[in-house]
Amino acid sequence: MIYLKTRSSRPFFNFFYRKIFVFYGKTFLWACWRGTFLPFSLVYLLFIYLKKILTPYKIFKPKIISIGNIETGGTGKTPLVMFLANVLKTRFRSVVIVSYGEKIKDEPVLLSETFPEIKIFSGKNKRKILEYVAGKYNPDLILIDDGFHYFDIKKTDIVIVDPFSRFDFLLPAGLKRFPAHFLRYADTIVINHSEFLKDEQKEKIKQKYGKYRKNIYFSGYNLLDFIDVHDSIYPLSIIKNKKILLFCGLGKPWYFLKNVQSLESGQLFFSFYPDHFNYTDFDIRQLEKTIKEKNIDLAITTEKDIIKIKKLLISFPLYALRIQLSFEEKFDFDVL
């Protein structure tokens, strides 16, 4: 695998994103960032404790299930939402999904394309959205994508955890949204990326999180196939012995890289952008330039990324890897 530093339309932000957040703990710039903002993390810690203790919650008539995490991005919330929606839509008369804010459109679009029969709502204030949805549509079930931090809503909380995360500092010095012991407020804990865990690691994780006395499940990803910008489907074998440009805008791009590396491709060139990156024509032209210079056969990205790229003019073969979350043991929906 060859790592490429592709020019982007947001070079300044891209530089700091790589140095501070992606290569977290491995750069001098990260050390400076941590030292500068650690006092603010202590203020943030006090704030979230007060918010949890003092915020009264409202009980809504529909059943509400929240899928959240205790760190910023990259844990796999949206695939878990899709898994739950696919199963629960047959168990409830009507299901609604409340997703990310107004400026981040990849998750809501992906959800709406996957579940055209389910209404998707997105916005900055999920509390107001819930009041609107409950009042106008009165669904049996509302799924919230990223809702653990909404302490003013009575709900069932599923918290998804990255077992390889080493981010020990709270925002803004680190990438933790909550201390680990906030998992005591979850109803179910899902340990994601289990395909990269050994049996002895799983046992240690069970012991680590078992003290919270919650239902613990291990989840991972099945690689399904590829789709192109026209939504045509192709088998995983299309990349066999091919030179591939791999790129994405994810919170943790390394898992995407590892999944593609598990396939029988030829030489891989890898580049990444900030999480929820909005691609422009400039970015596409830079990718085209790289493909020509390296004599690359095709490019692979994620479903969330290709949604934002479809509207741009693409002159090279581009595919998105489709994945599906699955559990190692049967998920008990009766506890939700």
CATH code assigned at 85: 3.40.50.300
pLDDT given at position 24: 59
pLDDT higher at 267 or 124: 267
Q: Does 181 score more than 90 pLDDT?
A: yes
Instruction: Give yes or no: residues 212 and 292 share one domain.
Output: no
pLDDT given at position 333: 85
Give the separation between CA 85 and CA 108, rounded to whole angstroms. 13
Instruction: Give yes or no: residues 170 and 134 share one domain.
Output: yes
pLDDT given at position 22: 66
User: Mean pLDDT across the stretch 145-161?
Assistant: 95
Instruction: Give yes or no: residues 189 and 228 share one domain.
Output: no
Instruction: Give yes or no: residues 77 and 196 share one domain.
Output: yes
Query: Residue 331: inside a domain, yes or no?
Result: no
Give the separation between CA 279 and CA 243, rounded to whole angstroms. 23
pLDDT higher at 152 or 251: 152
Asked whether the beta carbons of 146 and 73 are under 8 A apart, the reply is: no
User: Mean pLDDT across the stretch 65-78?
Assistant: 91
pLDDT given at position 101: 62
Task: Quickly count: other Cβ atoms within 10 Å of residue 336's Cβ.
Answer: 16
pLDDT higher at 66 or 272: 66
Give the range among 13-22, 28-37, 208-217, 244-253 with minimum mean pLDDT: 13-22
Give the separation between CA 88 and CA 254, rounded to whole angstroms. 31
pLDDT given at position 276: 86
pLDDT given at position 336: 79
pLDDT given at position 279: 94
Beta-strand relationship, 156-161 and 268-272: unpaired
Q: Does 19 score more than 90 pLDDT?
A: no
Instruction: Give yes or no: residues 215 and 281 share one domain.
Output: no
Instruction: Give yes or no: residues 95 and 129 share one domain.
Output: yes
Banded pLDDT at 118 (limits 50, 70, 90): very high
Q: Which domain holds residue 31?
A: 17-51
Q: What is the mean pLDDT of the chain?
A: 91
Instruction: Give yes or no: residues 174 and 93 share one domain.
Output: yes
Asked whether the beta carbons of 163 and 191 are under 8 A apart, the reply is: yes
Instruction: Give yes or no: residues 236 and 166 share one domain.
Output: no
pLDDT given at position 5: 80
Last residue of a domain, one of 197, 220, 243: 220
Instruction: Give yes or no: residues 43 and 128 share one domain.
Output: no
Give the range among 26-40, 66-80, 239-253 with minimum mean pLDDT: 26-40
User: Mean pLDDT across the stretch 173-196?
Assistant: 94
Instruction: Give yes or no: residues 113 and 193 share one domain.
Output: yes
Query: How far lies 21's CA from each of 8, 39, 95, 258, 275, in Å?
Result: 17, 19, 35, 19, 10
Query: Residue 256: inside a domain, yes or no?
Result: yes
How many distinct structural domains can be found in the chain? Answer: 3
Beta-strand relationship, 215-228 and 318-327: antiparallel
Token pair for 120: 């998707």
Instruction: Give yes or no: residues 72 and 181 share one domain.
Output: yes
User: Mean pLDDT across the stretch 6-32?
Assistant: 72
* Cβ within 8 Å of residue 224, ≥6 positions away: 236, 322, 323, 324
pLDDT given at position 264: 82
User: Mean pLDDT across the stretch 40-66?
Assistant: 94
Give the range among 11-15, 71-75, 203-207, 250-254 with minimum mean pLDDT: 11-15
Asked whether the beta carbons of 144 and 155 are under 8 A apart, the reply is: yes
* Residue entry with tokens 């020990």: 168
Give the separation between CA 190 and CA 34, rounded to whole angstroms. 29
Instruction: Give yes or no: residues 114 and 242 share one domain.
Output: no
Nearest to 307 by CA among 293, 295, 296, 318: 318
Q: Is the peptide bond before 172 cis (omega within 30 degrees of 0)?
A: yes
pLDDT higher at 221 or 334: 221
Percent of the chain scoring above 70 in pLDDT? 94
pLDDT given at position 332: 86
Helix (H, G, I), strand (E, B) or coil at 252: coil
Query: Residue 259: inside a domain, yes or no?
Result: yes
Query: Residue 216: inside a domain, yes or no?
Result: yes
Banded pLDDT at 7 (limits 50, 70, 90): confident
Percent of the chain scoring above 90 in pLDDT? 72
Query: How far lies 153's CA from each of 46, 47, 59, 76, in Å?
Result: 20, 18, 7, 22
What are the tens digits of pLDDT across the range 87-111? 999 999 999 999 876 556 788 889 9
* Cβ within 8 Å of residue 65, ≥6 positions away: 84, 88, 141, 142, 143, 144, 155, 156, 158, 336
User: Mean pLDDT across the stretch 308-320?
Assistant: 94
